[in-house]
Structure 1
């Protein structure tokens, strides 16, 4: 079975966890239809999209067609089994032409915003600059 997954953080092309994403990229640029809050949180400076429609910005990301095995790898990376972590839920995204796509996305638990430091956000996109800050924080903490 194939699944459409919208990625906005480290699973995007050119980012640290992209090798886990074995899906085929759908051509184009995509943004969430609803504004959503995207933060950078915690000691690992993780991109954290919260399911609070109407807050934040339409979030920019990439769309991938992923098979069951690929989805299982992504679910494992996103630690769906842990409380107060990520969940995979439906979302609608739009390409510049206006075409809408129904897909799934990994939302972070809103409780994390109280449990961990919020370093930035809400943001419209997770960028290479954010990724570099993440690497610097991990190196500084001796985690890389």
Structure 2
């Protein structure tokens, strides 16, 4: 069954992990989280990280995709799902230009992975310092 997936960082078009995970996926448009969520750049790889702490931070801007189970499994590996502190949760998102809200999956990190912190809370990830890792 296909799922909606909201991405806000290195999986967006034009960023380092897009080709590895979402190239060819159905792009549904520019979306934002309905709730304020904390998102910042952190860790030794300068990675964008969002925390599942509604009410803190900003409405985070990103992109919405429709993905199948095979692609989602690949993305889960890319996002280290199954390792401590790496989560995939369902959130509510809405089109930036206005429209009906939708439920979508999104990747979250635990706070303990965010060391060191390189920015304050952000609403839109545009940082270019991310250091990609080698994958299979």
TM-score (norm. length: structure 1): 0.85
1:101 equivalent in alignment to 2:102: yes
- The 3-state SS of whatever aligns with 1:63 is strand
- 1:121 counterpart residue number: 120
Separation in 2 of the partners of 1:6 and 1:98? 16
Aligned residues: 131
Asked if 1:111 corresponds to 2:112, the answer is: yes
Name the structure where helix makes up a greater proportion of residues: 1
Q: Displacement of 1:111 after TM fit? A: 2.3
The alpha-carbon deviation at position 82 of structure 1 amounts to: 1.0
Residue pair 1:37, 1:121 contacting (<8 A) in 2 also: no
Q: Indicate the RMSD between aligned Cα atoms, in angstroms.
A: 1.6
Using structure 2 for the length normalisation, give the TM-score.
0.90
Q: Indicate the SS of the match to 1:32.
A: strand
How far has the Cα of 1:24 moved from its partner? 0.8
Q: What are structure 2's unaligned runs of at least 5 residues?
A: none
Query: What do the CA deviations read for 1:74-93 (whole angstroms, capped 9, x no partner)?
Result: 00000012112x21001001
Q: 5+ residue gaps in structure 1? A: none
1:25 aligned to which of 13, 24, 27: 27
Q: Which has the larger radius of gyration?
A: 1
The residue that corresponds to 1:68 in the other structure is: 69
